[in-house]
Amino acid sequence: MPHTEEAIQLPRDLEGFGEAGHDCQWPNGARIAISFILNYEEGGERSWADGDNISEPYLWEKGSTAGSKPGGRYLNSEQDFEYGSRVGCWRIFRLMKEFGWNMTLWAISKAMERNPEFAKACVREGHEIGAHGARWIEFWDYDLEADKAYIKETWETLHAATGEMPVGYYFGRGTPNTHALVPSVLASMNLKLLYSSECYNDDVPYWVDLPSESHLPTHEREGMLMIPYNYDCNDGKFHMAPGFMTAAGQTYENYLKSTFDMLYREGGKMMNIPMHARIVGKAGRAEALRGFMKYVSEKEGVWVATRRDIAKHYREKFPYKPGSRAGGK
């Protein structure tokens, strides 16, 4: 059973910004901010070769029928992941270059280590390296000290693999304490956290107060900026039930367009497009992704940005104010 450290837990917030909503006032009057995120995990997943006694059964082409083969190699799984690192990541990389946009990578350090050419190319082109873990494994049952050590290892090994120190993160597989421990672990390393994406509960960034700072004078508290992530636009749903219902990319493309249309009409919101090299990096789905990219590129007032740049804008426009979700000067 995972341990929940009560003293550092963030309380649930079921109200959010309410009826009034919140306009993020994006740069140059943009109506929407779009964040493309590549979950780069290939080579960091569970693997017989890495001593896990199992090859990864989750989020690859055979989907819910994949199963697992404990105690040995499952070449089908291994090679579908390899498609992501050999082919899919470069296809997505080329699409971003075609449109002149930058993405954020939820980067697994072991995966980055094993594809140094891709790691270097991403940093060279201005894509953001975000922290996603040292490996793509569950660590939900780590105790506090192991949790802290894993956070520290993630930052150090990503820096070593890419040359870039992450300023934001999304683990997605952590303990109930991980999200609240990150700021203090980074502080012990003399690093600053720009944002967390360990949340799925809004369409706009927002501030949270950290219980670990409650003893500090108000002017010394820093809070934590949350930039929400999502599952509904995630290409992982090709391999989840009910997901996108089909392996074809057209349903995915239409759903992305519908999401964009609603958020664009409302104004002041942000949209996430979570991607995986081994999933939307497949040719047919990549063409559907390109169709969506072309669609939004022809609209006025669209700001495609890394999460790092979204966080910098929000911090400047709405700086942290204890007790306020929106912050403000």
pLDDT at res. 323: 94
CB atoms within 10 A of CB 319: 14
Which amino acid makes up residue 198? E
Q: Which residues of 279-293 are buried (b: 16+ CB within 10 A; e: fewer)?
A: bbbbeebbebbbbbb
Which amino acid makes up residue 133? G
User: 178: buried, middle or exposed (CB in 10 Å: 19+, 13-18, 0-12)?
Assistant: buried
pLDDT at res. 138: 86
Indicate the pTM of the whole model: 0.95
Side-chain half-sphere CA neighbours of 219 within 13 A: 0
> Domains in the chain, ordered, with CATH?
22-317 (3.20.20.370)
pLDDT, averaged per 10 consecutive residues of the chain (329 residues), comes to 88 95 97 98 91 82 71 84 97 98 98 97 98 92 94 97 97 93 96 97 98 93 97 89 64 94 98 97 95 98 98 98 92
pLDDT at res. 63: 67
CA-atom Rg of the chain in angstroms = 19
Q: What is the 3-state secondary structure (H, E, C) of 155-185?
A: HHHHHHHHCCCCCEECCCCCCCCHHHHHHHH
Q: Please report, for residues 85, 122, 152, 254, 298, the alpha-carbon distance to residue 286 in angstroms, rounded to integers and kept in the order given.
A: 15, 18, 34, 14, 19
Estimate the crossing angle of helix 283-297 against helix 250-266, to 10 degrees: 20
pLDDT at res. 72: 75
Residue 256 CA to residue 251 CA, distance in Å, equals 9
pLDDT at res. 249: 64
Q: Please report, for residues 2, 79, 278, 282, the alpha-carbon distance to residue 116 in angstroms, rounded to integers and kept in the order given.
A: 34, 19, 18, 21
CA-based nearest residue to 155, from 146, 145, 166 = 166
Residue 39 CA to residue 109 CA, distance in Å, equals 12
pLDDT at res. 243: 65
Sign of CA dihedral 159, 162, 165, 168: negative
**Residue 42 neighbours by CB under 8 Å, 6+ apart:** 81, 82, 84, 85, 89, 111, 115, 277, 278
Q: Among all chains, which residue has been given the structure tokens 């804008």? A: 313
